[in-house]
């Protein structure tokens, strides 16, 4: 019997070593070195802007770069047309900006996506909607508007926070949500055909900790940023296409 127990224990240890190959590299309890991160306040409360480019912008801009051929024709963008210009280039015929407040001189359209009858239907080849969905309480109404204003064949390129601290700027009181890929996939598939909706996530535990602390992209390596762990969706992206009639 002792021999059988020893054999079973050996097999169990072998199984654990295969399933948890990094177990031996983890520091023992009580010996984790927190260093500069052992603090009750973040290094930056402004997403790291004062230190460089925020970590989430790395993923946002990589997503838009990957989808850059969608940015063409008549394009609508939230806030300003910086990404339209940067990633659309000569493919863009008309740049349009939507802003919720009328103090933005570059805005062709002013209003809330939940109720925007003044924005014409079937009008845009592409809608760049970065880091905005979390500020909208009635998401279904907003998605219905997005679908309405896109041309048949038009593309929505949207990004939304997953793991994030809340902002302390003018949008702090508007912040309603953080998202998982499943949430956005199900929401958009209520309006767009399911096979016309593509949802991705980006991030990992290190990138998420860095982002929560307000570190910048330049303080992580590309290898660290490019590692994706489905348990840590720092950023969630949506590419949704309005079908042709």
Residue 36 belongs to a domain: no
Question: Which single residue is written with the structure tokens 């219905």?
Answer: 144
Q: What is the pLDDT of residues 79-125, one digit of tens each?
A: 999 999 999 999 999 999 999 888 887 888 998 999 999 999 999 99
Residue 190 belongs to a domain: yes
Instruction: From 82, 75, 72, 136, select the one nearest 104 (Cα to Cα).
Output: 82
In this structure, are strands 235-241 and 150-161 parallel, antiparallel, or unpaired?
A: antiparallel
Residue 11 belongs to a domain: no
Number of Cβ within a 10 Å radius of residue 107: 19
pLDDT score recorded for residue 23: 47
- What is the number of structural domains in the chain? 1
Q: Give the pLDDT mean for 167-178.
A: 93
pLDDT at 145 over 70: yes
The DSSP result for 109-177, as a single string, is EESBTTB-TTSPSS-EEEEEEES-GGG-S-HHHHHHHHHHHEEEEEEEEEEEESS-PPP-STTGGG---
pTM of the model: 0.88
Instruction: From 56, 58, 68, 61, select the one nearest 233 (Cα to Cα).
Output: 56
Strand partners, 78: 98
Residue 68: give its domain's CATH number. Answer: 3.40.50.150
Residue 178 belongs to a domain: yes
pLDDT score recorded for residue 192: 98
User: In whole numbers, what is the pLDDT of the chain averaged over residues?
Assistant: 92
Residue 171 belongs to a domain: yes
Both tokens of 49, joined, read: 């802007």
Sign, Cα dihedral of 176, 178, 182, 188: positive
Residue 8 belongs to a domain: no
Range of the domain at 219: 42-241
Residue 114 belongs to a domain: yes
Q: How far is it, in rounded angstroms, from Cα 227 to Cα 205?
A: 9
Which of 136-145, 167-176, 227-236 is predicted with the least confidence, judged by mean pLDDT?
Answer: 167-176
Q: How far is CA 9 from CA 23, 24, 26, 58, in A?
A: 17, 18, 22, 46
């Amino acid at each position: 019997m002792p021999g059988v127990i020893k054999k079973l224990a050996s097999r169990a240890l072998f199984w654990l070593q295969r399933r948890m190959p990094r177990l031996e590299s983890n520091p023992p309890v009580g010996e984790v070195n927190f260093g500069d991160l052992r603090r009750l306040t973040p290094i930056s409360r402004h997403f790291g802007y004062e230190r460089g480019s925020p970590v989430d912008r790395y993923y946002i801009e990589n997503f838009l770069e990957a989808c850059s051929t969608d940015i063409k024709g008549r394009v609508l963008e939230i806030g300003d047309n910086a990404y339209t210009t940067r990633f659309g280039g000569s493919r863009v015929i008309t740049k349009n900006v939507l802003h919720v407040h009328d103090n933005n001189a570059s805005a062709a359209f002013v209003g809330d996506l939940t109720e925007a009858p003044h924005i014409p239907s079937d009008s845009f080849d592409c809608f760049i909607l970065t880091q905005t969905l979390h500020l909208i309480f009635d998401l279904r109404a907003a998605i219905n508007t997005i679908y309405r204003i896109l041309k048949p064949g038009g593309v929505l390129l949207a990004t939304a926070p997953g793991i994030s601290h809340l902002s302390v700027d003018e949008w702090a009181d508007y912040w309603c949500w953080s998202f998982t890929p499943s949430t956005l996939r199900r929401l958009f598939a209520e309006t767009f055909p399911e096979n016309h909706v593509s949802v991705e996530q980006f991030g990992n535990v290190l990138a998420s900790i860095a982002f929560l602390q307000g570190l910048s992209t330049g303080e992580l390596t590309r290898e660290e940023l490019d590692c994706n762990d489905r348990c840590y969706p720092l950023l969630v992206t949506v590419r949704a296409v309005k079908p042709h009639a």
